[in-house]
A and B are shown apart, each in its own frame.
Chain A
Amino acid sequence: MILKRLIATAALATMLCGTAIAGELTVVSFGGAYGAAQKEHMLDPWVKATGNKILSEDYSGGIAEIKAQVEANNVQWDVVDIEVIDLERACSEGLLEVIPHSILKPGDDGVAAKDDFVPAALANECGVGNIVWTVLYAYNSEKIGAVAPTSIADFFDTSKIAGKRAMRKRPQVNLEWALIADGVEPAKVYELLATEAGQKRAFAKLDTIKADIVWFDSWSQAPQLLNDGGAAMAQSANGRIFAAIQDDKKPFKMVWDAHLYDLDVWAVVKGSKNKDLAFDFIASATSTIPLSGMPDVAYGPTRKSSTALVDPAVVPNLPTSHLDEGLKADGIFWADYGESLGEKFNEWLLK
């Protein structure tokens, strides 16, 4: 009886909470360790400072949900953490609000926002850069054997290093890597991939290791595959590997050669009922101190003034320290060829 009453009270309380609050913002991000870091450094401080509430949700990227909400004229999400590769498309299809750069705060060292951010962070009018992250590959140093891999060519060389290669089941990153491993200069990769011959060449290179590839669908599977020996080398978002090394003390090693880096940005869904609140949140979340917390999960901050505050021991693990070894993922290229290469990739998988 008491239990019943308790449950009833709790249910009533949640109902009241759901309706009675004025300043409530729905913030959507990727969850996991990254989401936790954002909560600690961006969401919680804003809630504390302004007294507004945040309803935090997770998604797995892409623009399908945003598109569905905007088209149905039923916008539930306010602020979204979105990958640049999707941002370009979402913005040009009118799914996102334009964020005026005047809302951005200057750096704590007094430098104006437009000079404090790295240029790529403000390149699109619909988003404000949040982190620099990257896709690289890693191996388990206890299981790799005598020769450790050092380059992307090693990843594609099964005679040098035997064992399975774990890759995410999609054309992105894989095709770029195949061309680079085949000797193409990183700067020429996208130009070549836009041609029939270049696509053939990339698939031919992937063919050489096709029998040794383990495919996965979610980044969380990568460290798991390395850990249980399902793969000798695994493609992964750098933060996942870093978390496994840092928190779980796994003997993983990251290989930075030809890593493909990209940005995540904060954006506001078109037609959000809390637009001003959303802008206020983004201005706060992308100020110097909150951004300097992102290296907790090994993602580089997009402000120079934040980088200065990062623990020097962590700096070598940040993508921002390895930009010259890597290649920037080309959002415009993938907007052009994502679908056609996606089909070709699936066709190749079935062969």
Chain B
Amino acid sequence: MLCSHCYISNISLKIKIMSDIQSNERIRSKVILLSKKEANFAKKEIRRSKMTAFFMVTPLLVFLLFAFVAPIGTMLHRGFYSPVVASLIPDTLDKLNQWSGEGIPNDDVLTSLAIDFKRLANERQSGKIAAALNRNMPGASSVVKSTARKMRRVDDAELKANGAELLLNAHEKWSNTKIWFALRKAGETYSDTHYLKALDLERNSLGELQVREASQIYIQLYSKTLKLALYITLACLIIGYPLAFYLANAPAKTANLLMIFVLLPFWTSLLVRTTSWIALLQTNGVVNSFLMSIGVTSSPLEMLYTEFSTIIAMTHILLPFMILPLYSVMKGIDPSYFRAALSMGARPISAFLKVYLPNTLPGLSAGALLVFIISVGYYITPALVGGTDGQMISNIIAFHMQQSNNWGLAAALGTLLLLLILSLYWLYDRFVGASNIKLG
């Protein structure tokens, strides 16, 4: 059975040749006139079939809206939106925004903040400001919390009269302009801080962009992630292509049996597969003891907790995503094409390159795209077998979600990752053509 795709591509090829030959007299499409009644009927018919189609996909749409669009939208939003500080100390921030930026703000601001701190300490909310401020100025968290604790013990009248002095006495850092800049910045409801940080940038006190002073890791991690994903895709391709070729051309019985082996990893828990790589690759593991027993090496090789182990374990896990689309496309290629090329005098290699390979491109690009995109966002395997070298961007996103609790930054990092993948897809569509993809 011929696949429809090849059939269509054959026709389009023919049309192209024809139009090349008769470039002067292009084939004009024939115009068919409908009566008004017929046109109305056709319109109605089309609308009806559209409605049916819409109702058929409604459950999916609803599901996607709740499980996909909404969470991603929230995530995009969270990267910009940080209302915590603004909602906790609105009055103080209003006053602080009038501050010129020279010297420390006036007593009015200080008193207002001191009063706020007392209220926050009583409501047990001081930690929220502390965490937000600490992101702009490491070390500020304890300043806020200890000051809030001290303000809590002062009575209201005293606080109103002497708030500024009490605040300055509570911690020496309140006399430092840096903490006031940090507070003003933390008070912005919408800010690009997280996105800049995710690109290793920051704004200095004048608002100009500059490379982040404290540490630069995210760009490095993104490029490393892309590099690893590329290696994994290539490895899958090198292993998957010949295997898919063999499967597509083997007798049905053998092919089915081998297909089970390909699918087996799908039915095994991801954790089991990953931890079995630990057992295989570790210092005194199976691979090392085998290599040593046959005398290839005298001391165990370092394989686990490296880039190598991440690549090999992920290649194993993602291989089916490469093989399945390739297999289904190869299955549809008529073997007579290849034979025809041979019979017309092509050497096997050039027949393969010029006839067979282009026909497999839809499956190949689908497989490569799948493997690449999945591996860019992969988390658990690099975390378990990656050690230091095998870190990917997802691991740092997890760090900000679980340990540093900086969800805004995690959201910004995730959004950038999404944009990165979308732009890669766009590039792919531009140069290869997304309509070429065939998933099976």
A contact residues vs B (CB 8 Å cutoff)? 62-64, 67, 89-94, 98, 164, 169-170, 194, 213-215, 217, 228-230, 332-333, 335-344, 346-347, 349-350
Cβ contacts under 8 Å, B141 to chain A:
335-336
Tell which of B283, B304, B391, B404 touches A350, judged by Cβ atoms closer than 8 Å. B391
Interface-central residue, B138, B221, B284, B285, by most chain A CB under 10 Å: B138
A128 CA to B142 CA in the complex, in Å?
Answer: 22
Which residues of chain A are within 8 angstroms of B216 by Cβ–Cβ distance?
347
A93 in complex: contacting residue of B128, B221, B283, CB < 8 Å: B128
Assess whether A336 is in contact with B126, with CB atoms less than 8 Å apart: no
- From B284, which residue of chain A is reached at the shortest CB distance? A229
The reply to whether A215 and B139 contact each other, CB–CB distance below 8 Å, is no
Structural contact, A92 and B127, CB atoms closer than 8 A: yes
A262 to chain B: closest CB distance in Å? Answer: 16
Query: Are B127's CB and A91's CB within 8 A?
Result: yes
How many residues from B make CB contacts under 8 Å with A? Answer: 42
Instruction: Determine whether the beta carbon of B140 is less than 8 Å from that of A350.
Output: no
Q: Which residue of A lies closest to B409 (CB)?
A: A339
Which of A67, A92, A215, A230 has a CB less than 8 Å from the CB of B388?
A215
Nearest-neighbor residue (CB-CB) of B126 within chain A: A92
Name B221's contact: one of A98, A333, A350 (CB within 8 Å).
A350
Question: Does A194 lie within 8 Å of B403, measured CB to CB?
Answer: no
Cβ–Cβ contact B391 & A337, under 8 A: no
B406 within 8 A of A: yes
Determine the distance from Cα of A228 to Cα of B289 in the docked complex, in whole angstroms.
Answer: 12
Residues of chain B touching chain A, judged by Cβ–Cβ distance below 8 Å, are 123-128, 130-131, 134-135, 138-142, 145, 214-217, 220-221, 224, 282-285, 304-305, 383-384, 387-388, 391, 396, 399, 401-406
Q: Are B224 and A194 in contact (CB under 8 A)?
A: no
CA of A169 to CA of B402, assembled, Å: 14
Return B282 CB to nearest CB of chain A, in Å.
Answer: 5
Give A346 to B141 CA distance when docked, in angstroms. 21
Is B387 in contact with A214, judged by CB distance below 8 angstroms? yes
B266 to chain A, nearest CB (A): 25
Residues of chain A within 8 A (CB-CB) of B305 are: 214-215
Q: Which residues of A contact B387 (CB under 8 A)?
A: 214-215
Across the interface, B406 reaches (CB within 8 A) one of A91, A164, A229, A339, namely A339
B220 nearest in chain A by CB position: A350
Bound state CA distance, A338 and B140, in angstroms? Answer: 12
Listed A/B pairs (8) with beta-carbon separation below 8 Å: A93-B131, A94-B125, A94-B128, A217-B383, A335-B141, A339-B134, A339-B138, A343-B214
Decide: A228 and B284 in contact? CB cutoff 8 A. Answer: yes
Bound form: Cα–Cα A250–B283 in Å: 19
- Cα A98 to Cα B305 with chains together (Å): 43
Residues of B within 8 A of A230 (CB): 282-284, 304
Q: How far is the CB of A216 from chain B (nearest CB, A)?
A: 8
| Chain A residue contacts of B283, Cβ below 8 A | 164, 228-230
Please indicate the chain B residues that have their CB under 8 angstroms from the CB of A343 in the complex.
214-215, 217
- 7 closest A-B pairs by beta carbon, nearest first, are A92-B127, A340-B138, A93-B127, A339-B404, A347-B215, A94-B124, A347-B217
Q: Which of A63, A92, A98, A214 has the most CB of B within 10 A?
A: A92
- Could you tell me if A340 and B401 are in contact, using CB atoms closer than 8 angstroms? no
Residues of B close to A213: CB separation below 8 A: 388
Contact B145–A92 (Cβ < 8 Å): yes
Cα(A293)–Cα(B314), bound, Å: 43
Contacts of A346 in B (CB 8 A): 215, 217, 221, 391, 396, 399
| Chain B proximity of A279: nearest CB distance (Å) | 17
